[in-house]
A and B are shown apart, each in its own frame.
Chain A
C-alpha cells in the first residue's frame, strides 16, 4: 500500500504498481488475492464493526430486496431472492457470526454481497448492513497472528489496520478480514 488517499475514509486505492491478480490464483482461500504483497478486499459493515472479504470472492453488490423465507432451515438462512431471473440463497452473516448488535439503519438500507459462482454450488449472497468500499492493502498492514487466539470456527484470516487521517491526525481503523469460503463450507455451500 503506497498511500491511503482516504480523507473520505473509504476510497479504494488501485494506484501503485500493478497488483496483477489473476483470478485463478485466488482459489487457495488462505492467501486470497494477495499478490506481490497487496490485498484487494471489499469492506462492509456488520453492526458497528468493519469487516472485509476477498474481492475476488465477490461478484457484485445489490440493494436489499424483499426475501422469501424458506421453512425448516437454520436461522442464518435468511431465504431466497430472485436476482435477475436467478434464484439466489441469502445468508444473514450477522446471524452466522453471532453478532447481536443491530444496525441503526432500517433493513431496507442493508446490502447484499453476491458471491462469485466458483465459491458455491448454488448462487449465494450475504446480507450485510452496508458496503463501504473496495480497498487495496499492503501485506504489512495485515496482522494474521492476533486473530489466532480466536477459535477456528471464527474463520478470521487476519486484522487489517487501515490508516485514517482525521483532523490532521493519523489513526488506525481495524478491519476484520474473514474467510467467507470457510463459512460457506460450514453451511454446506462451499
Chain B
C-alpha cells in the first residue's frame, strides 16, 4: 500500500471522500429503481383494472335499469314514450362503456369474456326490441312468453350479467396480483438497501481509519523528534521513505539535524577545545547561525593573539608593552583591559623595589619605598617587607653602635671596679677582726635574754592557775541557773491549774445561766396565762353587765378573777426582774472569771520569758566557760613557746662563737683575692683594644 503513503494528503482525503460518495450513490440508485418499479405497478392497477371495474360497474347499473324499464314500458302504457327515451339513452350508455372498455389494454381472458358479453348482449337487445314491439301490439301472450323463465330474453340477459361480472372479477384478481407483487418488491428492496448501507458504512470506516493512521503516525514521529531536538539530543533521524508532505518535512528535519550536529555543534565543540581553525561559509544571506559562529571564532582568535603578544613581551622583560583594548568589544575588551591593569599593577612596585634595592646596595638603609605608590594585596606585604629590611638593618646597626659604646664604658668601669675591689679586700681584712669583738658582745646579750625568758615562764603559770578558779565559779553559776529554770517550770504548772479551775467556774456559771433562762420562760408563761385570765375576766364582766340584774353576782366573780390575774402578772413581772438582775450578776461573774483567765495567761507568758532568760544565761555561761578554757590552753601554748625561744637563744650563742672563728678565716682569704684581681685588670685592657676596632668598622654604615 506504499502508493497511498506517496500520495499527497489532499489527494488522500479527496479519494476517501469519493469512495464514500460512490457507495452512497449506489444505495440511492437502487432505491430509485425500486420506487420506479412500484410506481409502474400502481399505474397499471389504476389505468387498466380500476377503469375496467368502473366501466363494468356503469354497464351493470344501466343493464339493471333496462331490465326494470321494460316492465314499466309494458305495464304503464302512458309512460311508454318516456320509457323509450330512457331505454335508448341506456343502450347508448352501455354501448359507449363497452367500447371504451374494449379500447383498454386487455388480456386474452378479458377479451374472451368481452366477446361472450357482446354476443349475449346482442341477443338480449334483439329479444328486448321484440318484446317492446309485442307490447306495442298489445300482444300480451308474446310478452308473457318473452318474460317467462327460459325465454331467449332472460337467458341472454343472464349470460350477459354473468359475462360482465366475469370481467369485474378478472380485473379484481389482476389488481390483487399486482398489489402482491408490489409488496414483495418493497420487502426485497428494503433488505438490499439495508445490506448495501451496512456494507457502505463498513467500507467508509475502514477507509477513514486507514487514512487517519497514515497521516497521524508520521506526524507523531516528527513531534517526538522535535521534542528530542529541544532537549538537545541531536543524534535522532526520522528516515521516512514517504513522498507526501510529511515525508518532505521529515527529510528537511533530518537535514537540519545533520547541519546542527555536524557544522554548528561540531564547530562549537572545537572552539570549546581551543581549536579556532574552523572556517564556515554562510548558506545564504539570511543564515544567522554560521555568521554568529564565525564572529565568535574571529573574536577569540584576535584575543588569543593579543594575549600571546603580551605574554611574550612580559617574558622578554618588556614591562612597558600593553594590549590594544580598542580592537575588542564587551567581555573581550574587559579581558585585555584587565591584563593591562595587571601589568600596571605589577610593574610600578617592581620598579620602585629595584630603586630601593639599589639604595640598600650603596649602604644607605634610610631609603624607603615611595609612600605615594599605590599598591594593593600581596604588594602591600612586599612593600612592607622591603621597608622592613631597611628598618631592621638600621635598627640592628644602631644597637651594635650603642652596644660597642657601652662595652667601652663597661671596660673602663671594670678597670675602676677592680681597683676598688683591691681596696675592699684590705678593708675586709680589717673588718674581720672587728666582727670577732662584736660576736663576743652578742654572746653576753644572749645570756640576758635567757634570764628574761625564765621570768616570762613564771608569769604564764600564774595565768593558768587563775583560769582554773574562774572555771569553777562559772560552774556554780550554771547550777544556780538550772535551779531557777526548775522553779519557773513549777510555777507554770500552778498557772495551768488556775486556768483549769477558772474554766470550770465559767462552765458552772453558764449552766446557771441556762437554768435561769428556763425560769424566764416559765415566768413568761405565767405572764401569758395572767393576760389570758385578765381577758377572760373582762369578757365575763361585759357578759355580766349585759345580762343586767341576773349577771350581777357573776360580775363580782369576774372582778375578783381579774384582780387575781393582775396580781399574778405583777408577781411574774417581779420574778422576771429578779431573774434579770441575777443574769446581770452572772454576766459580771463571767467577766471576772475571764479577766482572771487573762491575768493567768499573762503570768504564763511572763514565766515563759523568764524561762527563756534563764536559758540565755546558761548559754552565756557556757560560752564564758569555753573562753576561760581557751585562755588556759593559750597560756600553756605560751609556756611551750617560751621554752622554744630559750632553746633558740642558746643556739644563737653557739653560732656567735662560730662567727668569731670564721671572721679570722676571712681575713686570710682577702689577701689571696688581691692576687686574682691583678689578673683581671690585664684582661680588661685587652677588651678595650677590641672595642676600638669594632667601633671603627660600624661607623661606615649609614643608619
Contact = CB atoms under 8 A, between A and B. Distances in A.
Interface string A15-48: 0001111110000000000000000101000000
Contacts of B562: 11, 133
A63 B529 CA distance: 13
Contact of A8 (B531, B539, B566): B566
B545 A21 contact: yes
Contacts of B545: 12, 14, 21, 40, 55, 134
Contact of B538 (A8, A20, A134): A134
Contacts of B531: 109
B539 A60 contact: yes
Contacts of A131: 535, 538
Contact of B541 (A12, A21, A56, A111): A12
Contacts, number: 58
Q: Number of contact residues on B: which range applies?
A: 20 to 34
A173 B545 CA distance: 23
A164 interface: no
B672 interface: no
A111 B535 contact: yes
Interface residues of A, number: 26
A134 B556 CA distance: 12
B548 to A, nearest CB: 6
A40 B541 CA distance: 11
A120 to B, nearest CB: 17
A61 interface: yes
Given A8-B563, A22-B548, A55-B546, A14 B556 contact: yes
Contact of B542 (A19, A42, A63, A111): A42
A14 B562 CA distance: 14
A4 B29 CA distance: 163
Interface in A57-86: 58-63
B549 A61 contact: no
Interface in A115-135: 131, 133-134
Contacts of A61: 535, 538-539, 542
B555 interface: yes
B559 interface: yes
B571 to A, nearest CB: 14
A11 B552 CA distance: 14
User: B544, B545, B548, B555 — which one has the most chain A CB atoms within 10 A of its CB?
Assistant: B545
A169 B566 CA distance: 22
Contacts of A14: 544-545, 552, 555-556, 559
Interface of A: 8, 10-12, 14, 18-23, 40, 42, 55-56, 58-63, 109, 111, 131, 133-134
Given A12-B558, A134-B541, 16 more contacts: A10-B566, A11-B563, A14-B545, A14-B559, A18-B549, A19-B548, A55-B542, A55-B545, A56-B546, A61-B538, A61-B539, A63-B532, A63-B535, A111-B535, A133-B541, A134-B555
20 contacts: A8-B566, A10-B566, A12-B558, A14-B555, A18-B549, A18-B552, A19-B548, A20-B548, A55-B545, A55-B546, A56-B546, A60-B543, A61-B535, A62-B535, A111-B535, A131-B538, A133-B538, A133-B541, A133-B562, A134-B555
